Amino acid sequence: MFGSMTGSPFANHAATDNNTPYRMSSTNDWKYEMRREPQEIIPKLWLGPFQASTNLAKMQALGLTHVLCVRDRRETSMINPRFPTNFIYMTLEISDSIDQNLISIFPQCRDFIDNALNSGGTVLVHCNGGIALSPAIVIGYLMFKCGWTSEYALLFVQSKRYCVSPSSFSTQLNEYEPIIFAQRMMALQATTANTGNGGGVGGSYSGNKNKRGLATDHQNPLNEEGEVDYERKYPQQPPGGAGGGGHAGMDTS
């Protein structure tokens, strides 16, 4: 599922979530050297390499106010905030490894990005090359905020920045799907209990037959009763089943 994409499946491919009118871009014009520049993923959220955080004039031209710097622990002496008096920084040390616990740090990343966007700011999320670490953070953010599957979020980000390939984190991003779904269902149940009707969360649900936990252009992960159909959507195992789970006890609020 994860890795560099071949061909151009992105043109005229719109998100299906009612609250996310974001559209994929065509990659026909992508050039290798563009990986050295940041790309705008959704309005005011940019993704790129460390090089994009080293030119003050260009950063100011983009209107950046916040920078989320993601670096490997071995890169602490090389990748650092360059302009701490000009921008608000958040720095994370993350290993580009399948052993890195990624899901547990999504909430703090999400809060940083949300605080910036909600205050009218513009955010750059970067790592060294802008290929794996920082894209994984952005993909996780979009999954939660837009209700997208990991597959769709990856395709969307790759349509903006074609070189993205967070393969080390594919398993965790896939596991993040049912976590988000469970949180949305809990919120739905709380809303239903408080209102006494079948109202949904953020317009994403409308009656049993049309409930959607995660938006995708491929298939609805729910059956007619509004429950996750693991045979159809998650063939590997449901969370907590044999071989499943993997990240129990993580803070994913």
In the chain, where are the structural domains located? 32-168, 172-233
Nearest residue to 205 via CA among 224, 186, 228, 188: 188
- In DSSP notation, 207-249 reads SGGG--SSB-SS--SB-TTS-B-HHHH--S--TTSTT--SSTT
Averaged pLDDT, 209-216: 43
Residue type, 78: M
Q: Is the pLDDT score of 92 beyond 90?
A: yes
Residue 21's pLDDT band, with cuts at 50, 70 and 90, is low
> How many residues would you count in the chain?
253
CB distance 166 to 157 below 8 Å: no
Where on the phi/psi map is residue 202: left (φ > 0), alpha (ψ -120 to 50), or beta? Answer: left
In the chain, % of residues over pLDDT 70: 68
pLDDT of residue 27: 65
C-alpha dist (Å) from residue 70 to 30, 65, 77, 93, 124? 24, 16, 13, 6, 11
Judged by average pLDDT, the poorest of 77-81, 94-98, 182-186, 240-244 is 240-244
Q: Is the pLDDT score of 4 beyond 90?
A: no
Q: Could you tell me the fold of the domain covering 32-168? A: Protein-Tyrosine Phosphatase; Chain A (3.90.190)
- Among this protein's residues, is 163 annotated catalytic? no
Tell me the backbone φ, ψ of residue 243, rounded to 5 degrees.
80, 0
Q: Which of 69, 127, 146, 163 is catalytic?
A: 127
Q: Is the pLDDT score of 24 beyond 50?
A: yes
pLDDT of residue 20: 58
3-state class of 197 per DSSP?
coil
pLDDT of residue 209: 35
DSSP state of 99: T
Q: Is the pLDDT score of 18 beyond 90?
A: no
Those residues whose C-beta lies under 8 Å from the C-beta of residue 39, and which sit 6 or more positions away, are 46, 47, 48, 160, 161
Give residue-wise pLDDT tens across range 28-58.
688 889 999 999 999 999 999 999 999 999 9
Higher pLDDT, 21 or 62: 62
Higher pLDDT, 2 or 144: 144
Give residue-wise pLDDT tens across range 113-172.
999 999 999 999 999 999 999 999 999 999 999 999 999 999 999 999 999 999 889 999
Q: Which single residue is written with the structure tokens 């983009």?
A: 62
Residue 191's pLDDT band, with cuts at 50, 70 and 90, is confident
Q: Is the pLDDT score of 248 beyond 80?
A: no
Q: Is the pLDDT score of 239 beyond 70?
A: no
pLDDT of residue 205: 31
CB distance 147 to 20 below 8 Å: yes
Chain centroid, CA 97 distance in Å? 18
